[in-house]
Amino acid sequence: MAALSLEIVCFFVQLILSKYGDNPFQVLSVRVLLVEDEKRLAENIAGALRETGLAVDCALEGETGSYLAEQGIYDAVVLDLMLPIRSGQSILRGLRQKGLRTPVLILTAQEGKESIIELLNAGADDYLSKPFDLGELLARVKALIRRGKGVSHPVLKLADVEVNTLQQTVFRRGQLIDLSPTEYRILEYLIHRPRVIVSKQELLEHLYDFDWEHDSNVIEAHISNLRRKLNLAETEPLIETLRHRGYRLNGGSAA
């Protein structure tokens, strides 16, 4: 069963790598890997992370978790320690031995200061003891992602648009713009890539994880709403459409 699921996961990873060549990291950013064998807990954490606008992949045992983590396509890994097949400690060591610097947050049921110090020495960036508050987990994961990207400030600015990634609020010329969660996620994704062309497929994958059943018309509809809400009577549209290529967020330099 585990071998079968690993095969399926490998298939998707290969597919991504074959689509985006040797630089999938740029394409699939703001993506979190969750390795947790308690299915209910995994679903809760994944759901909460997705609600904050992150794309999440889950592995329910260590071997799949290790394989995915070592692809280097994640912005953060949330890693349980006690896992079937391969332990969290072993995954962490494997990751660091390969020179991958993906931020790792450890979920531990073990108390003991010594094991925590050992984990931090082995390259963990942060840890939470079970049971933990889901809100605290989200805040820590987002902080790890920001640090990993070298963005220490949660507010991103492009021209007169301001996105607060902690509060998930958007202001334009000081005016609060009321966006749906999906519209917000699209804008946050675009503002991380100012003046870069982002394809519909890329946005779909960011929004819907590995589920590729969605129609790209969905993106067109969201972009159209986003544009309408953001464009306060102006000459140059903020979100530019490039035929057959995608979208580009224009404006001054991002901060």
Q: Which of 10, 13, 82, 134 binds Ca ion (CB under 5 A)?
A: 82
Select from 13-21, 80-88, 124-132, 155-163 the region that touches Ca ion (CB under 5 A).
80-88
Instruction: Considering the complex, state which of residue 52 and residue 89 has its C-beta at the smaller distance from Ca ion.
Output: 89
Task: Give me the least distance between CB of 3 and Ca ion, in Å please.
Answer: 20
Select from 35-43, 133-141, 164-172, 203-211 the region that touches Ca ion (CB under 5 A).
35-43
- 80 in contact with Ca ion (CB under 5 A): yes
Instruction: Considering the complex, state which of residue 35 and residue 73 has its C-beta at the smaller distance from Ca ion.
Output: 35
Instruction: Considering the complex, state which of residue 16 and residue 82 has its C-beta at the smaller distance from Ca ion.
Output: 82
Going by C-alpha positions, the residue among 108, 117, 113, 69 that lies closest to residue 92 is: 69
Local structure of 10: helix, strand or coil? helix
* Alpha carbon distance 211, 144 (integer Å): 26
Write out the two tokens for 107.
């979920």
Judged by CB under 5 A, the chain residues 47 through 76 that form the site for Ca ion are none
Instruction: Considering the complex, state which of residue 24 and residue 62 has its C-beta at the smaller distance from Ca ion.
Output: 62
Task: Give me the least distance between CB of 42 and Ca ion, in Å please.
Answer: 10
Instruction: Considering the complex, state which of residue 110 and residue 168 has its C-beta at the smaller distance from Ca ion.
Output: 110
- 160 in contact with Ca ion (CB under 5 A): no
Going by C-alpha positions, the residue among 1, 8, 2 that lies closest to residue 86 is: 2
Task: Give me the least distance between CB of 73 and Ca ion, in Å please.
Answer: 24
Contacts with Ca ion: how many residues (CB under 5 A)?
Answer: 3
Task: Give me the least distance between CB of 130 and Ca ion, in Å please.
Answer: 9
- 254 in contact with Ca ion (CB under 5 A): no
Q: Which contacts of 48-53 are long-range, i.e. CB under 8 A and separated by 24 or more positions?
A: 48/134, 48/137, 48/138, 49/78, 49/138, 49/141, 50/209, 51/181, 52/138, 52/142, 52/168, 53/165, 53/168, 53/181, 53/184, 53/185, 53/188
What are the strands, taking DSSP E only, across the chain?
31-35, 55-59, 76-80, 104-108, 126-129, 155-158, 161-164, 169-172, 175-177, 239-242, 246-249
Instruction: Considering the complex, state which of residue 129 and residue 250 has its C-beta at the smaller distance from Ca ion.
Output: 129
Q: Which contacts of 124-128 are long-range, i.e. CB under 8 A and separated by 24 or more positions?
A: 124/79, 124/92
Task: Give me the least distance between CB of 81 and Ca ion, in Å please.
Answer: 7
Task: Give me the least distance between CB of 227 and Ca ion, in Å please.
Answer: 45
Task: Give me the least distance between CB of 40 and Ca ion, in Å please.
Answer: 12
Closest CB to Ca ion belongs to which residue?
82
- 37 in contact with Ca ion (CB under 5 A): yes
Instruction: Say if CB 164 and CB 154 are below 8 A apart.
Output: yes
Q: What is the dihedral of CA 233, 237, 241, 247, to 10 degrees?
A: -120
* Residue ranges that bind Ca ion, judged by CB under 5 A: 37, 80, 82
